[in-house]
Amino acid sequence: MGRKLLLEKAQVENIRSYEVYRKQGGYRSVEKALKTLSPDQVTEEVKKSGLRGRGGAGFPTGMKWSFLAKPTGVPRYLVVNADESEPGTFKDRYLMEFIPHLLIEGMITSSYALGSNRSYIYIRGEYAWITHILEQAIEEARQHGWLGKNILGSGFDCDIYVQRGAGAYICGEETALLESLEGKRGNPRIKPPFPAVKGLWGCPTVVNNVETIAALVPIINEGGEEYAKIGVGKSTGTKLISACGNINKPGVYEIDMTISVEEFIFSDEYCGGIPQGKKLKACIPGGSSVPILPANLLLKTAKGETRMMNYESLADGGFASGSMMGSGGFIVMDDSQCVVRHTYTLARFYRHESCGQCSPCREGTGWMEKILWNLETGKGRSSDIDLLWDIQRKIEGNTICPLGDAAAWPVAAAIRHFRDEFEWHVTHPEEAQKRNYGLAHYADPLLAPVA
């Protein structure tokens, strides 16, 4: 069983309350940081830990922090991105709902390191009840002297506020999030300038995911070097994986990134296998935006190596034969599922969530949705598959923010690996209304490396 750093105490009775959390060793990292470390030393520990952003992009957190501009007399802000909206992802919700003080603790230390006296949690609007949980935790922390003026006599002041969004996936993109926090439409900004220079209200700002900031707690408690010893290579520490789809035990799991994908899906400690004796067909391992992989490429890389649950191994083979760790939203599909229908629902999702600023995304996402609907309902033509490929290629890289890429990748990967299933929908339109394509050859051993 792997080590747990974040969720170890999540099941302790009443861990949501301050008293229990504190008794379990909570807020030690704040004491250690504010009493024994300078802000720069905290940042150094984060760099040493090798922590990578847990929201999806996997960018090194310490490096992101070091980009923060520090002009004198200008406030700086830490904004926690709790706009968890990537289909398949529900890990931050679990963390905030069950062990909210972990986030608050991580935020105080992070705010100290970054020099933010006023930090915000931007939470998706639908998580209304979690907003109350967080506000209660913040109030408890304030009453016990962990927030407010001159915390622990360090001279450092900090307050934390929760801001609810109102239903917009795009607000998970950091500049759209900042626009929304400023009370505007969530339209992503053109970069540069990056938020580290001009962020919230034009001031230097760091935006980090919930899980990233929570990881500050073990990093400070154990030290960056100790944290970096967990995991493998550049995948240090632990990662929360939210597993869903056709598995026996959907839920949130903390893994130390040394286990294989096969173990994660089939062992009883994690997903517990596929229900009703069905077979594994495909999986999207890191949230809906990352490439879908058929069973054979999921369990083994194109080189024939065992695929592991970490950043490097999941990305092995690039987009030709690999995928990404992404947000850790792990979506499993069994052999009764239809890849075309699933891809259609994702295309509809991205069309719905496109902010409409950039024409390739605004027009392209709707176009892809319509074509996929035609294919799924037996009205597709064989030229549609190439047309889809062409559209996604013209969206990718041609938009202000990564939503365009996020919309293009699932379609591209579905065609790349499941083209025969799309073609079958065109050649057998009536049959495709009655049954699904099945497992086909997607779990067969690979004969040759995929080009």
Partner 1 sequence: MKLSFTSEQLQEVQRLISRYPEGREKSALIPILHLAQDTFGGWLSTEVMDYVASLLQLKPIEVYEVASFYSMFNLSPVGKNLLEVCQTGPCMLNGSDSIVEYIYERLGIGPGETTKDGQFTLKTVECLGACGYAPMLQLGEHYKEHLTKEKIDALIESCYAKSAALN
Residues that bind partner 1 (CB under 8 A): 75, 84-90, 93, 118, 124-129, 161, 163-169, 180-186, 201, 242-246, 250-252, 284, 288, 329, 331, 333, 337, 341-342, 345-346, 348-349, 352-353, 355
Residue 120 C-beta: closest distance to partner 1, Å? 8
Residue 89 C-beta: closest distance to partner 1, Å? 7
What whole-number distance in Å separates Cα of residue 185 and Cα of residue 193? 19
Residue 314 C-beta: closest distance to partner 1, Å? 18
Amino acid letter for position 403: L
User: Buried b / exposed e across 345-380, counting CB within 10 Å, b at 16+?
Assistant: ebbbbbbebbbebbebbbbbbbbbbebbbbbbeeeb
Give the DSSP H or E segment for 438.
none
Nearer to partner 1, 75 or 233 (CB): 75
Nearer to partner 1, 43 or 357 (CB): 357
Residue 215: DSSP 8-state: T
Give the DSSP H or E segment for 371.
helix 359-376
Residue 445 C-beta: closest distance to partner 1, Å? 26
Nearer to partner 1, 230 or 358 (CB): 358
Residue 165 C-beta: closest distance to partner 1, Å? 7
Residue 302 C-beta: closest distance to partner 1, Å? 25
At residue 226's C-alpha, the angle toward residues 208 and 93, to 5°, is 35
Residue 212: helix, strand or coil by DSSP?
helix
Angle, helices 100-114/28-36, rounded to nearest 10 degrees: 10
What whole-number distance in Å separates Cα of residue 127 and Cα of residue 287? 19
Q: State the residue for tokens 């540069």.
A: 192
Tokens linked to 403 = 């939503």
Nearer to partner 1, 326 or 329 (CB): 329
Nearer to partner 1, 185 or 419 (CB): 185
Q: Which residues are within 8 A (CB) of 36 and not within 5 positions of it... i.e. 6 or more apart?
A: none
Nearer to partner 1, 210 or 230 (CB): 210
Residue 115 C-beta: closest distance to partner 1, Å? 15
Nearer to partner 1, 46 or 108 (CB): 108
